[in-house]
Each structure stands twice: as structure tokens, then as C-alpha cells.
Amino acid sequence: MAQGLKVLNAVLPQDVKLETKEYDLGAQRWHRTGDTLPDAELEALRNHDAILLGAIGDPSVPSGVLERGLLLKLRFAFDHFINLRPSKLFPNTATPLAGRPDIDFVVVREGTEGPYTGNGGSLRTGTPAEVATEVSVNTAYGVERVVRDAFERAAARPRKKLTLVHKNNVLVYAGHLWKNTFDRVAAEYPQVSTDYLHVDAATIFFVTQPERFDVIVTDNLFGDILTDLAAAVTGGIGLAASGNINPTGAFPSMFEPVHGSAPDIAGQGKADPTATILSVALLLRHLGYDTEAARIEDAVSADLAERDGVTRTTDEIGDALAVRVAS
Amino acid sequence: MAQGLKVLNAVLPQDVKLETKEYDLGAQRWHRTGDTLPDAELEALRNHDAILLGAIGDPSVPSGVLERGLLLKLRFAFDHFINLRPSKLFPNTATPLAGRPDIDFVVVREGTEGPYTGNGGSLRTGTPAEVATEVSVNTAYGVERVVRDAFERAAARPRKKLTLVHKNNVLVYAGHLWKNTFDRVAAEYPQVSTDYLHVDAATIFFVTQPERFDVIVTDNLFGDILTDLAAAVTGGIGLAASGNINPTGAFPSMFEPVHGSAPDIAGQGKADPTATILSVALLLRHLGYDTEAARIEDAVSADLAERDGVTRTTDEIGDALAVRVAS
Ligand SMILES: CC(C)[C@H](C(=O)O)[C@@H](O)C(=O)O
Ligand SMILES: CC(C)[C@H](C(=O)O)[C@@H](O)C(=O)O
């Protein structure tokens, strides 16, 4: 986070006055107080232009507490229906794929519906007769807005290609809603070429032919899975940035690395801050600072292209990028 | 299918009399009659020792019709709660992964629950107020039996390692049931080492460190996604076999390639029959013909190790393997 703010400060024009406020949320706070995100802080966050979220999560906190109580609470409270996750194979990064395919696509993951709504429950919990359910909720309202956003993004890119990923041969109700909405909106974008893939088949193409993808639109859970895989094939989640976006501007959008918090190496100066720094670029682009966003992305590219294999500390990477974006 | 039967006939000892009966199911049948799997045929199938299922699916049939009406109908009617999918990197096969890791794991996918039950529905279908749901159903009964099976399989393998894959930080109800069941059963298998991965993280390890896996147990949908990815990293779904198994013997188990039917190349002699032939090996092992199953798997290994890059027809591959298993 410190490196992200360092680069943000370095890239902004002199006349832009940046005001930042830090909120102490996450595992340590929960251990100290039992709170994850009290209403007062949620309300306070609402008044910011944007949120930069540090990676959260810690094995010492029961699974689900911080995820549902903090991260998902923010995504749902601020109606972040676009979860934007670009995937690009930067120069010199070690992809596990042979032959270094040319990867440059973006996943538009729905962020407020699907199996993430918390619907479901458990009956006779802990007994041999337990039944536990999870309900994926999909609305025409929710699907149409993310599909439209994805078409807009595809139309603005050189290749103008949009792929819908779902599993409509099994999840027939949600699948029909997604596919019908997609096909209907597609008629308004004749310049965008489209196709459809089942999520299982999509994972195959992610490793055998990732260059086939330009923009992908998909549901919350499939997007979660595919973007980790995408991060892996583009050289690891140390580089994967994401935006939780409400394009209407009604709420602040939130930017975060795709990766978790790695508490085992906290404070050792080993963590790669690049994903956070690239998240700052997404934040800037969202707020209209396109030139500054591009400067950060170009700096990361150039920095990786020129790196000599020497391992650098968290600080050194942040410093190097801050110098590049400032000059 | 013809090659699968050819190899099956070739590998069986002289004194084993094989009776086969062919059922005409799938896309062509549906076009002709509108039927997918009438009750009379389902009843007739019940009396066999095992079922070898040809790859189904055809873009001319609406999505979901054959999947729900035929494939899933069989899996559910015959209570195939173990969907067994071995992944092995055979010699000379082209993995998309750099460095050719040593891959040899098996996914034990739950086959009768999760988001595959057909629970869910759509309200105000086709209107801007539509709500479509999909319900993942998980029972202690269903989870425990597949988890136990996976521990048994892990205990029988040299590395004795079992990984649970789920998404219990978001799907908390189902996730707790899976995790608690897993931990409880683990106490009975002190010789098996265990770990847990979220499904998104699992996809990362599938491409960066697939050699870390031995046996994986997971739910129906995660298993579907992971096994296509596994097939991709081990050289493609042309080699991926699977078994839909009811280990109690109450119903016939069913064996099928993981891949679809490729109707675009039907009859051209281009399809690779290896996944079907390896499914025959799984069928034989299930029926107690371990030696014969191993002969088929060894034949595939040897055949791939010695192949010279010349493209062979479907028939030629079947013939080559039939000769190998017979000698
Ligand atoms: C931490 C978890 C709740 C989260 C998700 O599943 O969305 C993460 O995996 C992500 O991709 O942002
Ligand atoms: C065809 C489809 C219904 C099926 C599934 O989702 O189980 C297939 O993808 C598989 O993996 O066997």
C-alpha cells in the first residue's frame, strides 16, 4: 500500500491536491476489536472519490469473516457491479506457458450477484442430516448492466471482441438469462464480434490459446476462478490488478490487487507491490486521469523489460516505479 | 466408440465372454424422435454391468437438452456420486506448460449434488424484471460419501495426499459442510496428508505446480471446471478419461471421455479415440479387471512414447492399441 501511494503521489500533476485518509481494517483490527467494517466507517468511506484497498485475509481469522464482512460488504454496499480485471503478459515475466503467447485481455466480472449474494443456508447443521444450500441470484437488471458495460469496453478496443463465459448447458435458468441478454444487447453492437464458451472450456483456452480473448464477460464466481487462472498464466498474481467499479458514480469505486495479503512475509520487504501499483493505474483511469494511468502502466512495462534478474525489495520496486512515472 | 470396443475385445482373456448392447442415444436420435432417454431404455440400461458412453453434444440441439436429458439424467438416476477423473502427463504429449512438470493426480468430483441438481428457476422470464436462480444443494450424506471415497483412494496411492478444493470463504454454508466433513473423516486416515485450497487458488497451482497434487476431492461444478483445466495441462482432452461411479454396485457405473462429440469432424477418421480407450481401462478396473486395465494404460503410454509424429486416423490408433494390449 505504501508503494501504491508513493507512485500515486509521484504521477499526479503538481496542481492536483491529493487527499488521503487511511482506514484501519482487516485481520489485526478484527483480532483487537471483533469489528470488520462498522457502519460509521462504511458511511465515511462513501464520501471518498475512490478507495484503494490493501490485500486482506489472514489464516488466523476464520474463513469468510473478512471476506463477507469487509471485502464483499464493500462491493455490495457500493454496488460495484463491474469487477474489472485486465490480464496482460508483461515483458520478461515468467509465464508458466510454453511459447509465451501474446496475452492481452480483460475480464469484466459481475460483482454484485451470482453465488456471492449470501443467499442460502444450512439445515440441521452439524448432523448427519445436514442440508446446505447456496443460491446463485441473477437478475435481468444486474446481468444487463454488466453485459452493456462489457460491450462498451469491447467496442472501444482495437480487436472489438467479446466472449460470454457461463455454463448454460447445466445452469439453465441463469444461463438462459445471461445468454439471452447477451444476444439481445449484441444486436446493438454490430461492430463487436461475439462468442460464447462454457466455463470449463474457457479454462482450456486460457492455457492453450489465451491470445484468442479480448474482452470476457462472466458471472461473479466464474470471473473469480478465471481471473486467478488468468493471473497465473500472465506471470502470477504479483502483477494482477483489479477494480470494483460502479460506473454510475453513485458510490466510490474500489481498487485492489487480485492477490491476498501474504501475512507470512509481512514487513520483510519481499512482497511485490506491482499489483497494487497497477491498481492505482486503474483507479486513476476511473477518475479520468488517463494519461497518468498510462504512465504507470508504461513504467511497469519498461521496468520489467529492463530488469536484470536481481531480486528487489518492496521499497526498491516502488521507488523505481515512482522515479519512472515522475520523469 | 468403435475403437474402445475393439481394444476392450482385444484385452479381455479368452474365457471372458463379453456381451454388448448398443443404445442409440444423442443428437441424431433427438432430431428424429424428440426423445433423449425414455424410461424404458433407462430401465434396460440398469441391467448392465457397466456403461460405456460415447461423447455426446451437438450445436444443432439446444443447450441443456442432451446434457440434462441424457448425460445428467444417467448420472443422477444411477447415483453416480463419484466422478473419477485421472490426470496424467503421458510421454511425448504436448502440454502447454513450459518445463513439462510431472503430472499424475486424480480428481474425485462429486457427481450428484451441488449446482447440478436442477434446483432453481426463473421468475418473470424474458422481462426486465426477471430473476433467475440456481441452487447448489449439498447434503452431509452426499458430501461424506464422496469424501470417504477420496480418502480411500488417497490412502491407496504412494503419495497419500488429499486436497479439498472449495470456496468456503464465500460459499460459507456449503463450504462449512465440506470442510467440517473433510476434517472429521481425515481423523480416521492419519496416514493421509491433507490440505485445503480455494478453487481460484487451485487453478493457479494447476498451471504453476501441478505436481503438488495427488488426489483432489471437490464439488460437482468445481470438479467440472478443474478437470477440463487438468485435461488441458496434460496435453488436451483427447486423452482425458472419466468414470461416473456408484461404488456400492447398486447401479451400473458409466465411463466416458471428458471431451464432447466434435460433430464437425464426425466420420472423417480424425477423432482421437484415446480418451474413450482410457475410459475402457477405468471401466475394467471398476469391474475388477485390474491387470487388463493396466495393460491398456501401459499400451497408451508405450504407444505415445514411441510415436513418430505421423498423424494417424482414428482406426489406426485403435488398431495399434488393440495389437499392443493383445500381445
Ligand atoms: C477473497 C475473496 C472473497 C475474493 C472473491 O472471491 O471475490 C477474491 O478471491 C477475489 O477474487 O477478489
Ligand atoms: C456436458 C456437461 C453437462 C458435462 C458436465 O458439466 O458435467 C461435461 O462438461 C463434463 O465434464 O462431463
Choose between A94 and B193: higher pLDDT.
Answer: B193
Give A277-306 pLDDT, tens digit per residue: 999 999 999 999 999 999 999 999 999 999
Instruction: Select the residue from B97, B134, B206, B208 to test the A interface by mutation, using most A Cβ atoms within 10 A.
Output: B134
Structure confidence at residue A310 (pLDDT): 85
Q: Whose CA is nearest to atom 11 of ligand 2?
A: B224
Structure confidence at residue B309 (pLDDT): 78
The CATH architecture one would assign to domain B2-8+50-120+132-326 is 3-Layer(aba) Sandwich (3.40)
- Band the pLDDT of B260: cuts 50, 70, 90: confident
- Band the pLDDT of A57: cuts 50, 70, 90: confident
| Mean pLDDT rounded to a whole number for chain A | 96
Give chain B's length.
Answer: 327
The CATH architecture one would assign to domain A95-120+135-234 is 3-Layer(aba) Sandwich (3.40)
Structure confidence at residue A238 (pLDDT): 87
Tell me if A170 CB under 6 Å of ligand 2: yes
Domain ranges of chain B: 2-8+50-120+132-326
Structure confidence at residue A242 (pLDDT): 97
- Band the pLDDT of B130: cuts 50, 70, 90: very high
pLDDT at B315 over 90: yes
Could you identify the atom of ligand 2 that is nearest to the CA of residue B75? Answer: 7
Structure confidence at residue A1 (pLDDT): 94
pLDDT at B56 over 90: no
Instruction: Select the residue from B200, B219, B222, B259 to test the A interface by mutation, using most A Cβ atoms within 10 A.
Output: B200
Tell me if B73 CB under 6 Å of ligand 2: no
Could you identify the atom of ligand 2 that is nearest to the CA of residue B57? Answer: 1
Structure confidence at residue A236 (pLDDT): 85
- Band the pLDDT of A144: cuts 50, 70, 90: very high
- The CA distance from B24 to B33, in Å, is 11
pLDDT at B262 over 90: no
Do the Cβ atoms of A135 and B134 come within 8 Å?
Answer: yes
Catalytic: A200? yes
Catalytic: A173? no
Do the Cβ atoms of A171 and B137 come within 8 Å?
Answer: no
Could you identify the atom of ligand 2 that is nearest to the CA of residue B227? Answer: 11
Nearest chain A residue to B220, by CA = A170
pLDDT at B27 over 90: yes
Structure confidence at residue A55 (pLDDT): 87
CA A224–ligand 1 middle distance (angstroms) = 6
Give B101-127 pLDDT, tens digit per residue: 999 999 999 999 999 999 999 999 999
Structure confidence at residue A309 (pLDDT): 78
Q: DSSP letter string over B32-97?
A: HHS-SS-HHHHHHHTTSSEEEPPP---TTSPTTHHIIIIIHHHHHHTT--EEEEEEE--TT---SB
pLDDT more than 90, % of chain B: 91
Do the Cβ atoms of A67 and B170 come within 8 Å?
Answer: yes
Burial class (CB within 10 angstroms; exposed 0-12, middle 13-18, buried 19+) of A190: exposed
- The CA distance from B283 to B7, in Å, is 12
Structure confidence at residue A118 (pLDDT): 95
Catalytic: B272? no
pLDDT at B307 over 90: no
CA A15–ligand 2 middle distance (angstroms) = 57
What is the model's pTM?
A: 0.97
B226 touches B205 (CB < 8 A):
no
